[in-house]
Amino acid sequence: MSKPLILVTNDDGITAPGLRALIRFMGDLGEVVVVAPDSPQSGKGHAITIDDTLFSTKVTVDQLHGAPKEYSCSGTPADCVKLGLQVILDRKPDICVSGINHGSNSSINVIYSGTMSAAIEAGIEGIPAIGFSLLDYSWNADFEQAGPAIKKIVRQSLKKGMPEGVVLNVNIPKLSKENIKGIKVCRQARANWKEKFDHRTSPMGKDYYWLTGEFELLDKGEDTDEWALANGYISVVPTQFDLTAHHAIQNLNTWNLNE
């Protein structure tokens, strides 16, 4: 049997250590093709490029096991997946993996995440997809500790398949593999950012702002991704891209909308 075809992408850019580690891990599982941004695209969410041209270049960043095919893309993470599926690949991949992100994409952070948006874009196209994030923002984070768990999750996804309309949001605590207690399937914790804008003035007298803020956890449940991560577990949240609030339909049907 041929090896599974694995599309690998991220939002931190094609040279990011987290991506390089993920490519190595996936090289043990299948045939790897990489399509990733040519520069950092964190926080871009599901943005796509519609008012500019897209450029893609075949590159060799480093000599990795399995000699994966790699392409840098001038667009967003979602652009990378679109381009990979429609232009670069000659067949549908068996799975798309995104990451490993430098920093958390748990709870409300999933809304802003380029890492998860790339996975969601693949999911929209009917491809099993997983976003991986490590709770360490350092460029020199130790991604190797997450390798065994990442490969286990991908192997199970390839073997069992993914529920229709679902992608996985996987977050990994900053711990050695020996100290990770296990993997928990969770729900997304309810949380928000208490945001502030730091007002400054340029040397030319123009006002400008830096977005700052504090993460505010509003959920005390012990079945959430935030609880799992705080207690030494890898969190796996099944995430859907159907944004319909199905539970609210019955209530809205009581409104007098047609009178």
Q: In whole angstroms, what is the distance from residue 82 CA to residue 77 CA?
A: 9
Q: Could you give all domains of the chain from N- to C-terminal order, each with its CATH number?
A: 5-244 (3.40.1210.10)
Report helix, strand or coil for 158.
helix
- Check residue 68 and give its pLDDT: 85
Structure tokens at 233: 């577990």
- Check residue 2 and give its pLDDT: 82
Q: In whole angstroms, what is the distance from residue 192 CA to residue 219 CA?
A: 10
- Check residue 60 and give its pLDDT: 87
- Which parts of the chain fold into alpha helices (H)? 17-27, 77-83, 114-124, 147-160, 225-230, 249-252
Q: In whole angstroms, what is the distance from residue 43 CA to residue 251 CA?
A: 34
Structure tokens at 174: 């900053």
Q: In whole angstroms, what is the distance from residue 10 CA to residue 30 CA?
A: 18
Q: In whole angstroms, what is the distance from residue 123 CA to residue 241 CA?
A: 8
- Check residue 64 and give its pLDDT: 67
What sign does the CA torsion over 219, 220, 226, 228 have? Answer: negative
Provide DSSP, 32-99: EEEEEESS--TT-TT----SS---EEEE--S--TT--EEEEESS-HHHHHHHIIIII-SS--SEEEEE
Q: Each residue's pLDDT tens digit in the chain (259 positions)?
A: 589 999 999 999 999 999 999 999 999 999 999 999 999 888 899 999 999 999 999 998 887 666 689 999 999 999 999 999 999 999 999 999 999 999 999 999 999 999 999 999 999 999 999 999 999 999 899 999 999 999 999 999 999 999 999 999 999 999 999 999 999 999 999 999 999 999 999 999 999 999 988 999 999 999 999 999 999 999 999 999 999 999 999 999 999 888 7
> Radius of gyration (Cα) for the chain, nearest Å?
19
- Check residue 259 and give its pLDDT: 79
